């Protein structure tokens, strides 16, 4: 009985033909030879007739040419492919090699997963510098100058060292020369004090290529201890007991420094905030502050707390200060003849002032004379609101139609550093939960209808 036919791929060409294997009769081979000779003669006659047809028509079939080329390519490299497949199958039978390949695949998979996670994280929290370019230049020149300044901040470049004078150095020299001949319109100021840079705020990375803007930071750390790209340091060495008192000096009395006296306007901001890059807005605000009698621009606290008592109650609930300090502040304020518990509370996260304003200078100096005694709360908003009420100062509001500030997500912002005071906290910042704030009892007040909302 004849076995079923099998499909066989010969090595000589790429065609599939049928081969019949039979063990029944001897005449089967002769029958196969006859059928092969017939099929060969038929194929030859068909090919000859087709070839004659193309010759007669005088036009060869292009598709037939391409097919023959592909057949020639596969038939030429089929031996190599089969050889490599055979080597691969033999290698995969080796268990030691299998383990190595498996470990390699796992390593590649983990590497790709970590890489994808990092890319997603950077897209959500981009680490980039805020570029403040020279508005007198074209857009292309601004980009070139910013790239040159950013590259010059790197520690070492072999190509730059070989070339000697680089484009980055030239751009920096041009910028320094223009800054020397240009008075700044706006000086942005922030402050941060700590024992080392691990406890410092994470500053906004700045590429300052504008001669009309300056960025200053008040700190106690040298350049070797803390790198602040784009910021010019004003290093101080005060003798105040509280670290937070050090940081408040530059916040309110920065106008006493000659660097800030050159500016038309000084803008204080917390380090977690970055100002808009639209320099025309800041230059307009500087003109407004110069022409204003008070020379102060500040908004009310958006949380709309209920006067002095509401502010201190929020401070205690959020554990931003000790109850003893809060009580000392309230005792002093209540005993003042001009005390008013319903005064507005202003937002000290950012404000702007004219460094030449006599009204602001008297206001800030009066504030500092009390704050620097370090007898009261180290939170500055309640005392600042009290002093503004005492001096009868009403500041201008920030323009609502403009977006001036942007808050960064994770790369910038407060680093949860702690402030220590020898007499106040004894280096221990564990607050005991209290069921009721003891402000009223310490002040000797009794709860009634007028104090129900405050205590």
pLDDT in tens, 199-250: 777 777 777 778 889 999 999 888 777 878 788 999 998 889 888 899 999 9
Higher pLDDT, 38 or 88: 88
User: Across residues 342-365, what is the average pLDDT?
Assistant: 95
pLDDT at 35 over 70: no
* Cα–Cα distance measured from residue 214 to residue 175, given in angstroms and rounded to the nearest whole number: 12
Is the pLDDT higher at 320 or at 439? 320
pLDDT at position 370 over 90: yes
- How far CA 191 is from CA of 42, 100, 128, 213, 427, in Å, comes to 97, 55, 21, 17, 22
421, 374 contact by CB (below 8 A): yes
For residues 372 and 245, is the Cβ–Cβ distance under 8 A?
A: yes
Q: Which domains occur in the chain, in start order? A: 1-15+70-124 (no CATH), 130-415+431-443 (3.90.550)
| CB of 385 closer than 8 Å to CB of 315 | no
pLDDT greater than 70 at residue 36: no
**452 has a pLDDT exceeding 80:** no
Supply 200's token pair.
């410092």
The whole-angstrom separation of Cα 82 and Cα 84 is 6
Residue-level pLDDT at 20: 42
- Asked whether 292 and 407 are in contact (CB, 8 A), the reply is no
Q: Higher model confidence: residue 91 or residue 346? A: 346
3-state SS, one letter per residue, for 48-72: HHHHHHHHHHCCCCHHHHHHHHHHH
Question: What is the average pLDDT across 368-375?
Answer: 94
**Per-residue confidence (pLDDT) for residue 327, from 0 to 100:** 92
Identify the residue with better confidence: 99 or 59. Answer: 99
| 25 has a pLDDT exceeding 90 | no
Given a cut of 60, is residue 146 above it in pLDDT? Answer: yes
Mean pLDDT for the chain?
73
Predicted pLDDT at 205: 75
Span 297-307, average pLDDT:
85
- Segment 379-386 shows an average pLDDT of 95
């Amino acid at each position: 009985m004849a076995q079923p036919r099998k499909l066989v791929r010969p090595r000589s060409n790429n065609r599939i033909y049928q081969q019949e294997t039979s063990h029944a009769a001897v005449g089967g081979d002769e029958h196969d030879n006859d059928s092969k000779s017939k099929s060969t003669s038929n194929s030859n006659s068909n090919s000859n007739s087709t070839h004659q047809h193309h010759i007669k028509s005088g036009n060869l079939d292009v598709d037939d040419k391409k097919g023959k080329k592909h057949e020639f390519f596969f038939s030429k490299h089929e031996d190599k492919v089969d050889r490599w497949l055979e080597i691969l199958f033999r290698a995969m039978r080796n268990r030691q090699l299998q383990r190595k390949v498996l470990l390699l695949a796992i390593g590649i998979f983990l590497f790709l997963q970590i890489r994808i996670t990092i890319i997603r994280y950077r897209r959500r929290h981009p680490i980039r510098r805020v570029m403040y370019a020279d508005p007198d230049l074209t857009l292309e020149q601004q980009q070139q100058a910013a790239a040159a300044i950013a590259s010059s901040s790197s520690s070492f470049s072999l190509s730059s060292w070989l070339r000697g004078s680089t484009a980055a150095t030239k751009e920096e020299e041009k910028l320094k020369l223009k800054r020397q001949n240009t008075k700044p319109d706006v000086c942005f100021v922030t402050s941060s004090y700590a024992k080392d840079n691990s406890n410092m705020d994470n500053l906004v990375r700045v590429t300052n290529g504008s001669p009309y803007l300056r960025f200053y930071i008040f700190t106690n750390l040298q350049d070797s201890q803390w790198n602040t790209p784009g910021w010019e340091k004003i290093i101080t060495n005060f003798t105040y007991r509280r670290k937070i008192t050090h940081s408040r000096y530059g916040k309110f009395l920065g106008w006493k420094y000659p660097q800030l006296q050159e500016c038309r306007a000084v803008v204080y901001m917390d380090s977690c905030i970055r100002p808009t890059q639209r320099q025309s807005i800041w230059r307009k605000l500087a003109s407004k502050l110069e022409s204003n009698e008070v020379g102060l621009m500040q908004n009310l606290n958006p949380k709309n707390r209920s006067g002095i008592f509401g502010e201190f109650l929020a401070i205690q609930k959020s554990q931003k200060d000790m109850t003893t300090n809060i009580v000392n502040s309230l005792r002093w304020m209540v005993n003042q003849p001009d005390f008013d518990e319903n005064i507005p509370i202003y937002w000290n996260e950012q404000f702007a002032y004219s460094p030449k304003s006599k009204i602001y200078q008297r206001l800030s100096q009066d504030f500092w004379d009390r704050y620097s005694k370090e007898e009261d709360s180290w939170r500055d908003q309640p005392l600042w609101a009290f002093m503004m009420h005492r001096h009868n100062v009403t500041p201008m509001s920030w323009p609502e139609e403009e977006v001036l500030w942007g808050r960064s997500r994770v790369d910038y912002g407060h680093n949860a550093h702690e402030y220590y005071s020898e007499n106040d906290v004894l280096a221990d910042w564990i607050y005991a939960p209290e069921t009721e704030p003891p402000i009223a009892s310490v002040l000797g007040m009794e709860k009634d209808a007028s104090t129900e909302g405050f205590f």
